[in-house]
Amino acid sequence: MEPLVDTVIEDLRWEGFGLPALATRACSAALSYLSLPAEGFTLCLMGCDDAHIATLNTEFRGKPTPTNVLSWPSEERSAEFAGEVPEPPEAGPADDPESLGDIAIAWETCAAEAEAAGKPMADHVTHLVIHGLLHLLGYDHIDDIDATLMERTEAGILETLGHSDPYK
C-alpha cells in the first residue's frame, strides 16, 4: 500500500521538523473528518524554502513573492455553486489509491507566520497542510461564502487534533 502522503524534502529543516509524520497525521484527520478513507488516497507534499516557492508562485499564479502553501489538485473538484461542499472524490483501491494532487510548503514563511501569531510552528504547519489538502479536494476561499465554509471545515478538523481555531 502506498503512503497517504509522499513527502519530498527539498529544505533539510523540514526533515528535522518531522514534516512527513505531521503531514500524514494532518491529512488522515482531514480525510476522516470528511468521512473519506485515508487508505484510498495519496498526495505529494514538498517541503521547500521561500526561494523555491516564490518561483512556483510566479510560474503558476503570476505572483513573484514567497507564500506559505501552494496546491495543485490532480483534477478540478470545485463545487458547482458557491457555498456548497465539493463532491468528494472516489477512493482508489489499496494498490492504486486516487492521487489528490500536490502541495508545496515554505519553511521561512511558515516560521515567520507562526512566530508572528505566537503559536507553535507545528500547529501552524498542521493548519497549512490541512488548508492545502482542502484545496486539493475542491475547497477554495475566493468568495466569502466559500471562505467561510473552508475556514469552518479547517477549524473542525483542527479541533479533532486538539488545535485551536486559527480564525479566532
Count of CA atoms in the C-beta half-sphere (13 A) of 149: 21
Domain limits, the chain = 5-160
Whole-Å CA distances, 28 to 37, 55, 85: 8, 29, 19
The architecture CATH gives domain 5-160: 3-Layer(aba) Sandwich (3.40)
Q: Which three cell numbers stand for residue 59?
A: 510560474
First to last CA, the chain: 39
pLDDT at 38: 84
Tell me which H or E stretch contains 153.
helix 144-160
Q: What is the pLDDT of residues 106-147, one digit of tens each?
A: 999 999 999 999 999 999 999 999 999 999 999 999 999 999
Q: pLDDT, tens digit, for every residue of 4-44?
A: 899 999 999 999 999 999 999 999 999 999 999 989 999 99
Rounded to an integer, what distance in angstroms lies between the CA atom of residue 32 and that of residue 90?
Answer: 14
- Exposed, middle or buried: residue 119 (CB in 10 Å: 0-12, 13-18, 19+)? middle
pLDDT band at 2 (very low <50, low <70, confident <90, very high): low
Task: Name the nearest CA neighbour of 80 among 142, 38, 129, 138.
Answer: 138
